[in-house]
Structure formats: C-alpha cells, structure tokens
Amino acid sequence: MNRPVLRGVHHTARPTWKLSETVEFYRDRLGLKLVHAISAKGWGPQGHPDFLHFFFDSGQGSTIAFFYYIGSPQPDYLVHKPQWDCDSVHTAWQVESEAQLREWKAFLEGRGVKVEMHVQHELIESIYFRDPNGYLIEIGRQLREMTALDERDAGMTLEAAIAAETEARAGGTPFKSIEAVWQRKGALQRKAA
Amino acid sequence: MVKVYVLDVPEFRPIIEGARRAHIGVSGPARGYYVIAGERELMFSRKALGLKPAVWYSSLSGGLEGRIAQFDRDTLRIVEP
C-alpha cells in the first residue's frame, strides 16, 4: 500500500493555565481569529478534568490550539522554561516575503510584543517572540526551495549521526559532539568519491 | 591532508568564495559538494566570509576529513586527525 497523503497542519495544541491572557494575546494582540472552542465535561481516562479546547486561525487552514483544564493545577513538569530544551517545542508560522516578515516585526513591536531574536538560518529567516505561557513562536520566510540535493544531504547527515549513536549505545565511543557526525560524513563522502 | 565538504547551495557559497580568495584549494562541485583541501591545516574567519552565526556553525555539515582544533564565533581551524 502506498503511503496515504498528508495535507499540512490542521492544528498543534499545548496546555495553558492562563486562559484570559492566552485569549487576549492570540485574539486581540496578534489578531488571530478565535474560530472554534470545545467545552466539555471530563471524559475518557479516569480523573480527566472538565476542559476547554480552543483554536485560533493561523492561515492556510491551520490553527493553533490550547487546552485549559478546569480546576487542575499546573504540574511543575509543564511549566515552560525559556531555554533551549523547552524551546525546542515551538510553533513556526510561515510568511511569503521579506516585506511580510518586516511587517510582522513592526506589528508585534507596535503592540508591545518583544521580538527576542531575528535569525537567518540556512533555509529560513525568522523572528521569535513569546506568548503569555512563555511558549516560543517563530515567524519565518523560506529563503529558497528545498531540493533533491538537500534531501540527499539530510539522508547522509542522519546516516552518520545514527551510526554515532548506535556505536555509543553499544558501549563504544560516547556520542558527545557534532564533530563525530561530520567526520563520519566525511568518511561517507570519501567512500562515494 | 585535511578536507572540508561543502554542499553546493547558496547559503554555503561564501565559504567557497572565501577559500578561493585565500587561494586555498577548492574543487568541484561533484555529486553536489565542493571540496576544500589543505595540506596540514585549514583556517576560516566568519567575519572574512561574511557568514551569519547560524550558518557559520554549520560550516562543516557537508563532511570533514580532519579534526576541529578551534571553532568559536569567529575562527574555525581544522587540523589533521
């Protein structure tokens, strides 16, 4: 059977313990339309609290959604820390041009949202800011199309990295730096030449 | 011999142009990669290449034959393993 088709993101969802601030931020400050809200009696797994699940329109049929669990205190492990490991979970929205990215930056700053970073990555130029939960949001524009070359290179990078991880798991050289990946990839390149 | 493989895409091209300006041996692209080769050592400066940090820190992502002796915000030095 062929792999069935995917048609992009419908929604991503994260929990919030700041209901009013979250609605105010996404709907009123960012101007994203509140398009759907589920309010339900707790059901399913035992102990599941009553909840709200609500969605803001982020363009092209995508939404960003939140859960608010009524009467359920925030566990420590879900308190977002603004640092690299927690921030790996983030939402990245797409714009089409440099002008649109500049407009977003000015729009956010004009509405009192601090833009923390403006970074030119390899394939995307992005700005970053936080919502009232501390969650990181990225808005980016893709700088060029991904090509077959990118795909082949990605395959080789991951092949090298998985080999380094496998060796470390088997009790060999610990996998502690990206240098090990680059050297393994160098060896793959040499072999292919 | 020390070698750095550089993917043939626009964002990494400043590395190739910088190496050529510095009269370091560049060959390719072949199979999608340029190869920068040095006898015992290769040295690059981020400012001289004009690379933004996010791309600079991926400069060796195409593959490396050698060992990193220094890799900080402005200097990258590769030596023999």
Query: Is there a single domain that holds both residue A136 and residue A160?
Result: no
Residues A69 and A86 in one domain: no
Kindly state whether residues A33 and A15 are assigned to the same domain.
Answer: yes
Confidence of residue A19 (pLDDT cuts 50, 70, 90): very high
ipTM of this predicted structure = 0.97
Please indicate, yes or no, whether residues A13 and A41 belong to a single structural domain of this protein: yes
pLDDT of residue A149: 97
Question: Could you say which of A53, A76, A99 is where a domain stops?
Answer: A76
For residue A190, the chain B residue with the least C-alpha distance is B65
Residue A193 has pLDDT above 90, yes or no: no
In this predicted model, what pLDDT tens digit does every residue of A51-105 receive, in sequence order?
Answer: 999 999 999 999 999 999 999 999 999 999 999 999 999 999 999 999 999 999 9
Average pLDDT over residues A124-153: 97
* Closest by CA position to B28, among listed B39, B41, B12: B12
In terms of Cβ atoms closer than 10 Å to its own Cβ (0-12, 13-18, 19+), residue A62 is middle
DSSP letters, chain B, are -EEEEEESSGGGHHHHHHHHHTT-EEEEEETTEEEEEESSEEEEEHHHHT--HHHHTTTTTT-EESEEEEESSSEEEEE--
Per-10-residue mean pLDDT for chain B, 81 residues long? 97 96 94 97 96 95 98 97 89
For residue A144, the chain B residues in CB contact (below 8 A) are 9-10
Q: What superfamily in CATH does domain B2-79 come from?
A: Monooxygenase component MmoB/DmpM (3.90.56.10)
Number of domains in chain A: 3
Nearest CA among A132, A105, A136 for reference residue A25: A132
The 10s digit of each residue's pLDDT in A156-166 is: 999 999 999 99
Same domain, A20 and A56: yes
Q: How many residues does chain B have?
A: 81
Which tokens sit at A32? 């994203």
Residues A32-66 pLDDT 10s: 999 999 999 999 899 999 999 999 999 999 999 99
Which CATH number is A138's domain given? Answer: 3.10.180.10
Please tell me whether residues A140 and A86 are part of one structural domain.
Answer: yes
Structural domain including A101 reads 80-144
Residues of B (42-71) whose Cβ lies below 8 Å from A: 52, 54-55, 58, 60-68
Average per-residue pLDDT for chain A: 97
Distance CA A18, CA B31 (A): 52
Q: How far apart are the first and last CA of chain B?
A: 9
In chain B, the residue whose alpha carbon lies closest to the alpha carbon of A144 is B10
pLDDT at A188 (0 to 100): 96
Among B62, B60, B61, CA closest to B42 = B60
Among the partner-chain residues B32, B61, B67, the one whose CB lies closest to the CB of A152 is: B32
Domain positions in chain B are 2-79
Write out residues 139-168 of A within 8 Å (CB-CB) of B: 143-144, 147, 149-150, 152-153, 156-157
